[in-house]
Structure 1
Amino acid sequence: MKIYKMFIDNAWEDAASGERIPSLEPWSEQVWASIPRGDTKDADRAVQAAHAALQSQPWAGISATARGALMRRLGDILTRDAGHLGRIEAQDNGKLLAEMQAQAAYLPQYFYYYGGLADKLEGTVPPVERPGFFTYTRHEPIGVVAALTPWNSPLLLAANKIAPALAAGCTIVLKPSEHASASALEFARAVEEAGFPPGVVNVVTGYGAEVGDALVRHPLVSRICFTGGEIAGRAINEAAARGFKHVDLELGGKSANIVFADADLEAAANGAIAGIFGASGQSCIAGSRLLVEDSIYERFIEKLVTMMASVKVGDPFDPHTQIGPITTKAQYDRVNDYICVGLAEGARRRLGGDNPFERGWFVPPTIFSEVTSEMRIAREEIFGPVLCVMRFRDTEDAIRIANDTLYGLAAGVWTRDLRRAFEVSNRLEAGTVWVNAYRALSYMVPFGGYKNSGLGRENGIDAIRNFVQVKSVWMNYAAPVANPFVMKI
């Protein structure tokens, strides 16, 4: 069994309490690793280390160009170790090895991209109307950043927080999910090897109520970046507001994937399947609501059922496996509960069934038809391989149904009509809209949600600005300074 330690101030340490959390393989339910169970003391030690690094040499005095070079060095190490990191993530969260290794191989791009932006943050020289003054602005690091990440794509979702924060000169305390912490600790080894000064990046493991809450409330934390569920996101936002902390919240989704009758149905079917059954449905951008035009409704469902009926469910390390397990027992139970809810609400199950194995948290791909907007399975995020297929009459009806949700993270549109593609994309209430595609993401393109899907945007050039604050400097070189108590007549 792998025994891990936390990474605080460039030192490998056990939790202050000495307690540990077992990490289970989702397909075998066997313990494969042991993770430190941190608490408020460990969170405080990490924040204090991050704050000290922010205030002192060598990090406080390092040039932006040197920061970028360190980040690119980290990217090189991550490139070298991508295969290992992918295997660790697959073992920890049960997603397909091929998917996790693809994510690990993509991970370095964040550090190359933002490393290149580190010395591109330019201030301005405002042409003020007051004679005798020279004014300029400068960008300064916002401070200590707490990054709270989930279990479904641990490192990728950490990178889109850590990389721009480092480029801006901030320091980090990363708190990964207690269900998938191993890869974050492996990542810390790469940080150490790259040569980052002590305290710049810290990784504290443990439960959200014990470590995450302590980080959110810590007075020395300036910005909180969270990816996770809506309930936790709301609690974080409320707690952060008391300390006037900045927040980025990437929360849940109930994304609509809309198929018009004129679409390339083969491509649309592939997109619908990828949208919900990729990652066993454990994705915030999952296209869990499939909206299909009336005239092709039955034909399209039959096509999906045929395509998915022979899909192999099983061990994520088996190269022939196409659907892996659910990551946690609690989520496994939640997904099965929603399937029961769907049946009770009157939705028609066209595909699905019981766990085919005696051990492991497997949910076979499930397709419900005759789903309406009032049903819970159409309104609440399931976060599993459950597809809800809904009918629509025309463009207006499709837009109405798609927007009839508390969420607004993503959406898909499948049509050959260019005018319709633009109109629907513009009117959908979602932070990301794909046309004749689904699940395409890039570190170069902003990502975030409308409504209850969160606050702020990650990725892209503007993301680095989330981690700086602007200071204005007025230099008086010729303006007379008058006595303010002498009246001018």
Structure 2
Amino acid sequence: MTTWEYAPAPESRDIANLKPGYRMFLDGEFVEGGGEPLKSINPATEEVLAEVSTADRDDVDRAVKAAGRAQERVWGPMPGAERAKYVYRIARLIAERARELAVLESLDNGKPIRESRDVDVPTASAHFFHHAGWADKLDFAGYGPDPRPLGVAGQVIPWNFPLLMAAWKIAPALACGNTVVLKPAETTPLTALVLAEIIQQAELPPGVVNVLPGAGDVGAAVVGHPGVHKVAFTGSTDVGKSIQRSLAGSGKKLTLELGGKAANVVFDDAPLDQAVEGIVNGIFFNQGHVCCAGSRLLVQESVAEEVLEKLHKRVATLRVGDPLDKNTDVGAINSREQLTKIQELVASGESEGAERWTSPCPVPDKGFFFAPTVFAGVSQAMRIAREEIFGPVLSVLTFRTPDEAVAKANNTPYGLSAGVWTEKGSRILWMADRLRAGVVWANTFNRFDPTAPFGGYRESGFGREGGRAGLEAYLDV
């Protein structure tokens, strides 16, 4: 038997144009912040990539005031068609610098280069292209004859999709005539700051977009500033609840996109090979660092054994390693803190009696890595079936009837996404009508498009981002 082995195919890290230091972007300029500088770490090697200046409360105040002036004097009164030109320009510049951004994202975040290259960066550019098209059509978006911008949008984004989440938030805000104060995640600030370079290159008026790196205190200062009129947060459910409590009665508009524990439901008539590919994509894409990841697999009993056998065989072929290697399927866990959390929850699954299977693939000795893991024999009471692991760990449960599948899928405090695998169109519609999830994928998973709204129910948050529906969050209607 011949064993085929891929030779390493590393992307050059030089393409990232990595600088030893990065400064925050405030009122159209890159300036030193008043906070304690942070070091951005490459999770695959544990090396320091760059030192990043951070904001303090005074910087937040200056940024919000600059955004307020820009919104009132320039960006808000500007005709939509003119705003669209700037937003289009950002989209084109992202596309032009796509390779640089992809390499930098993989260095800073740990995700495989092929995901940064083929998913994150193109979708980020697409969000700006899509929303630029809305800028002069807001009167016809269905929100009344004269929808107006809210003012200053305070936006706090997570570390799992640093560039994409920035685009996801900034593009609709700008298209609707708002200005932005963005706080990127503490562990992944670099692509947001390069996006600020692109915004400066696109010649947006000073103050329209401000990027303030820092820890949670900076995000809290942005959220709580009286000059902020709209808050958009993507991150953990606990922080989202805290933000909601702090803003209660303030009159600020709020959207929250929080955690998830999505059910991926496979019926006995599903195309199983196709379903296995969807299961793998649903949980192991981006190392499982996806709020809508299909982390609970519900399989009809009659095909459960066959699906597990196929799944083990497929997962064993996934390559874990250097994020810059074009052959890598699963990259590095973003931080040591997140790796520890994954390890602790996996240990709880074993102690509670679930059957653990971990891929035999080699794992690098250095860096934050975790081999893809599948738990069978999982009950709904186990922590691994209830809590968001946010890592490459899949919990497998079984069901007998469609009603039981719906009951088990909905037996979670979350409600962000779900997947259904079956050849029956009527069953897909029946399930989609009953699943308490903001997005239901049919015979696919993790498909994103800027023209489609995304958001959740219950502890997965509220509000929608993307598409026509996502414009409402940034308009006074």
Match of residue 166, structure 1, among 174, 182, 199: 174
The structure carrying a bigger strand percent of its residues is: 1
CA deviation profile, 1:374-412 (whole Å, cap 9, x unmatched)? 111000000000000001011111111000000010000
Alpha carbons 2:287, 2:333 under 8 Å: kept: yes
Change in CA separation of 1:116 and 1:123 when aligned onto 2, cut-off 3 Å: closer
User: Which residue of structure 1 lines up, in the alignment, with residue 196 of structure 2?
Assistant: 188
CA RMSD of aligned residues (A): 1.7
Listed as ranges, the matches of 1:26-425 within 5 Å are 26-56=43-73, 58-102=74-118, 103-122=120-139, 137-208=145-216, 210-352=217-359, 356-425=363-432
Give the Å deviation of 1:175. 0.5
Mapped partners of 1:230, 1:355: distance in 2: 34
Q: Is the partner of 2:231 in helix, strand or coil? A: strand
Give the Å deviation of 1:350. 2.1
Query: What amino acid is aligned across from residue 101 of structure 1 in structure 2?
Result: R
CA deviation profile, 1:33-66 (whole Å, cap 9, x unmatched)? 111122211111111110111122x324321110
Alpha carbons 2:131, 2:175 under 8 Å: kept: yes
Share of identical aligned residues, percent? 41
Mapped partners of 1:125, 1:196: distance in 2: 28
Give the Å deviation of 1:241. 1.6
Mapped partners of 2:308, 2:59: distance in 1: 51
Change in CA separation of 1:436 and 1:60 when aligned onto 2, cut-off 3 Å: closer
Mapped partners of 1:312, 1:413: distance in 2: 27
Alpha carbons 1:373, 1:379 under 8 Å: kept: yes
Mean CA deviation greater in 233-242 or 372-381: 233-242
User: Which residue of structure 1 lines up, in the alignment, with residue 23 of structure 2?
Assistant: 5
User: Which residue of structure 1 lines up, in the alignment, with residue 41 of structure 2?
Assistant: 24
The total of aligned residue pairs comes to 458
Change in CA separation of 1:125 and 1:328 when aligned onto 2, cut-off 3 Å: closer
Q: Is the partner of 1:452 in helix, strand or coil? A: helix
Mapped partners of 1:69, 1:320: distance in 2: 38
Mapped partners of 1:354, 1:381: distance in 2: 24
Give TM-score scaled by structure 2 length. Answer: 0.93
Mapped partners of 2:417, 2:45: distance in 1: 33
Q: Is the partner of 2:473 in helix, strand or coil? A: helix
Ranges in structure 2 where 5+ consecutive residues have no aligned partner: 1-18
Alpha carbons 1:280, 1:384 under 8 Å: kept: yes
Give TM-score scaled by structure 1 length. Answer: 0.91
Q: Is the partner of 2:452 in helix, strand or coil? A: coil
CA deviation profile, 1:273-305 (whole Å, cap 9, x unmatched)? 110011111101110000011111111111111
CA deviation profile, 1:103-128 (whole Å, cap 9, x unmatched)? 112222111211111111117999xx
Alpha carbons 1:146, 1:225 under 8 Å: kept: yes
Q: Is the partner of 2:198 in helix, strand or coil? A: helix
User: Which residue of structure 1 lines up, in the alignment, with residue 434 of structure 2?
Assistant: 427
Mapped partners of 2:55, 2:414: distance in 1: 33
Query: What amino acid is aligned across from residue 372 of structure 1 in structure 2?
Result: S
Query: What amino acid is aligned across from residue 156 of structure 1 in structure 2?
Result: L
After TM superposition, which residue ranges in structure 1, 4 or more long, deviate above 4 angstroms? Answer: 123-126, 352-355
Change in CA separation of 1:125 and 1:101 when aligned onto 2, cut-off 3 Å: closer
Mapped partners of 1:417, 1:365: distance in 2: 31
Which of the pair has more CA radius of gyration? 1
Mean CA deviation greater in 154-163 or 192-201: 154-163
Q: Is the partner of 1:79 in helix, strand or coil? A: helix
Mapped partners of 2:75, 2:276: distance in 1: 50
CA deviation profile, 1:289-328 (whole Å, cap 9, x unmatched)? 0001111111111111111113211100011211111001
